[in-house]
Structure 1
C-alpha cells in the first residue's frame, strides 16, 4: 500500500469527525433557543471525547517510543494525560468557561505536536491533517464562544 493510500482513511475519518463540531456549533446559531442548552452539552461532550482521544494518541506514542532519558519519558507520559485532565473539568464547568478550556486544550496539544514533531516520529501526513482539523475545531469553538457571549 502506498503512503498516499495509507493516509487516505485517516484523512476521511478525521474530516468526518468534524461533523459533530460543525453541526452543534452551527446549531447554536440556527436552532431554536430551547435546543441550545442541549446543543452546547453535545458540543462540550464531543470536544472532551476528542481532546481525550488526542491524549490517547500520545499515550500510545510514548508506549512504543524507544526508551530515552527517564525524565523526558516521564514528561511525555504526563503530557499524554493533560488533555483528559483539561477535558473533564471543561464538562463540569460547562458554558463559556468550559468551551474556552476545551479550546485551550486543542491549542496546547497542537503546540506540543509542533514543538516535538521530530521526536514524536509522526507520519508526514499527520501534522497536515491535525492542522486542518484543529483550525476547524477552534473556529467552531470560536462560534460557540461568540454565541454564548452574545447571549
Structure 2
C-alpha cells in the first residue's frame, strides 16, 4: 500500500507527529551548542511521550475490538502498559542509553502490531502508516545516538 492510499487525516497527523522528531534530531546536529543541550533531552522526552501514546492505542484496541472476557483482551490490556513502562525509565538513563531503550520500545510495539491478531484487528492503512512512522522515528534516534557518540 502506498502513502497516497492512506486516509488523508491519519497520514497528515502521523507526518505532523514526525516534525518534532525531525526538527530535534536536526537541531542535535545543526543548532548552536547551547540549543543542542536542550534539543537532545527534548527529543528523548517527546519520544517517550509518543511511545506511551502507542500503548494507549493498544488499550483502545482492546476496549473496542476485543471481547472483554477474552484472553486477547487481557493480554492486549497488559501489553498496552509496556510502552509507558519502557519510556519513562528510559528518561532516567544516560541519554544515549535511553535513546537505545526507546528504539527497542518502538520496535517491540511495531512487532506486536505486526502480529497475527493485530493484523486482523487493525486496518491495513494503519499498518502501512505505522511502518513508515517507525522507520523515520528509529532513524531519528540513530542520528541522536550518533551525535551523542561525538559524531
| Same structural fold, with TM-score higher than 0.5 when normalized by the shorter chain | yes
Query: Conserved in 2, the CA contact under 8 Å of 1:21 and 1:43?
Result: yes
- Alignment-derived partner of residue 67 in structure 1: 67
1:109 and 1:80 map into 2 onto residues whose CA distance is 9
1:15 aligns with 2:5: no
Matched, 1:90 2:99: no
CA RMSD of aligned residues (A): 1.9
Q: Hey, what does 2:45 align to over in structure 1? A: 45
Would you identify which runs of 4 or more consecutive aligned residues in structure 1 move more than 6 Å?
A: none
Counterpart in the other structure of 2:131: 131
C-alpha distance in 2 between matches for 1:88 and 1:78: 17
Which blocks of at least 5 consecutive residues in structure 1 are unaligned? none
8 Å CA contact 1:96–1:145 kept in 2: the answer is yes
* Partner of residue 106, structure 2: 106
Match of 1:144 in 2: 144
Whether 2:119 is the aligned partner of 1:118: answer: yes
Matches of 1:132 and 1:77 in 2, distance apart? 25
How far apart are the structure 2 equivalents of 1:5 and 1:139? 24
User: CA 1:34 to 1:8, structure 2 compared with 1: closer, same or farther past 3 Å?
Assistant: same
Q: Secondary structure at the match of 2:67?
A: coil
Deviation at 1:6, TM superposition (A): 8.3
Q: How far apart in 1 are the matches of 2:119 and 2:63?
A: 17
Aligned counterpart, 2:57 = 57
Give the secondary-structure state (helix, strand or coil) at the position aligned to 1:150: coil
Q: Which runs of 5+ in 2 are unaligned?
A: none
The alignment status of 1:30 with 2:10, answered yes or no, reads: no
Q: Distance in 2 between matches of 1:46 and 1:131?
A: 19
Deviating more after overlay: 104-113 vs 29-38? 29-38
Give the distance between the partners of 1:54 and 1:35, measured in 2 at CA: 28
